[in-house]
Amino acid sequence: MSSYTFSPDTAVKIAFLEDDPVFAADICRELKARHYTVTHFATGQECLSHLVNHDHDVCLFDWHLPDMAGTEVMARLKNINRMPPVIFMTGNDAEEDVTQVLMAGADDYIIKPPMIAVLHARIQALLRRIRPRDTVVQREEIGRLVIDYHNKVILLNGAPVALTGTEATLAFDLFMQRGRVVSRQHLYGLLGIEDVAIDTRRLDVHISHLRRKLALNAANGWKLTSIYQRGYRLEFLEGPSK
């Protein structure tokens, strides 16, 4: 049995496992409108049978299905080395449930029903992590921001933003890991915080400054979220309305 492989030169193919036909139709329509190729499955066995012989770039898995749990589908695919990257869709954001799906092998999770812009951002973030990079990104233009990694400057509406050294370090790291949950431990390390019990608020204060200075808000298409007991996630959802 050949292992799962990702081809960066083909259209992004998504395997979507969901037993609710109305919800599935809505998500499929929205994803296809964003030029994804989507194959929908209503049962875990149907999905398994297909993925054994066909490669997909990303899987969207529901948890509760009529024949087996989405976590069992992941486990079976993992056993035969055929598991693509998976975003798990769950109706519960309780910490124990999120931990369970991540420990089972999911790459990310999203709460149902998802905003399509958020789902699109999560898919794109996952693709950036699995696609091989031939060149290092030097500069990105995202919405009203220009992130110049080479010159270490960030422009907002064409003007450079005055950031402290610490703020710039945090900002560039969050932009480079856009769409991922960046752990508090990692961010503490960037700040040189060794005793978290004493220095509990410094990270959150810096994050607040970045939100304000870089206009990382919904009006500009950004979402900078604190993930309880885990870290922060920066996402670009959609550009500002014109």
Residues 151-168: tens digit of each pLDDT: 889 999 999 999 888 888
One-letter-per-residue 3-state SS of the chain: CCCCCCCCCCCCEEEEECCCHHHHHHHHHHHHHCCCEEEEECCHHHHHHHHCCCCCCEEEEECCCCCCCHHHHHHHHHHCCCCCCEEEEECCCCHHHHHHHHHCCCCEEEECCCCHHHHHHHHHHHHHHHCCCCCCCCEEEECCEEEECCCCEEEECCEECCCCHHHHHHHHHHHHCCCCEEEHHHHHHHHCCCCCCCCCCHHHHHHHHHHHHCCCCHHHCEEEEEECCCEEEEEECCCCCC
Domain ranges of the chain: 13-130, 139-236
pLDDT above 80 for 97: no
**Four-residue CA torsion sign, 74, 75, 80, 85:** positive
Cβ proximity of 127 and 12 under 8 Å: yes
pLDDT above 70 for 19: yes
Residues 42-58: tens digit of each pLDDT: 999 999 999 888 888 89
Report the pLDDT averaged over residues 215-239: 86
Cβ proximity of 67 and 44 under 8 Å: yes
CA distance 123 to 58: 7
- Residue 214 is encoded by which pair of tokens? 């870089």
CA distance 18 to 12: 19
pTM, 2 dp: 0.63
Q: From 3.40.50.920, 3.30.1950.10, 3.40.50.2300, 3.30.450.20, which CATH number describes the 13-130 domain?
A: 3.40.50.2300
pLDDT band at 78 (very low <50, low <70, confident <90, very high): confident
Domain at 139-236: CATH code: 1.10.10.10
Residue 131: CA atoms inside 13 Å, Cβ hemisphere, count?
A: 18
**Closest listed residue to residue 90, CA positions, set 18, 186, 188, 2:** 18
DSSP β-bridge partners for residue 232: 182, 226
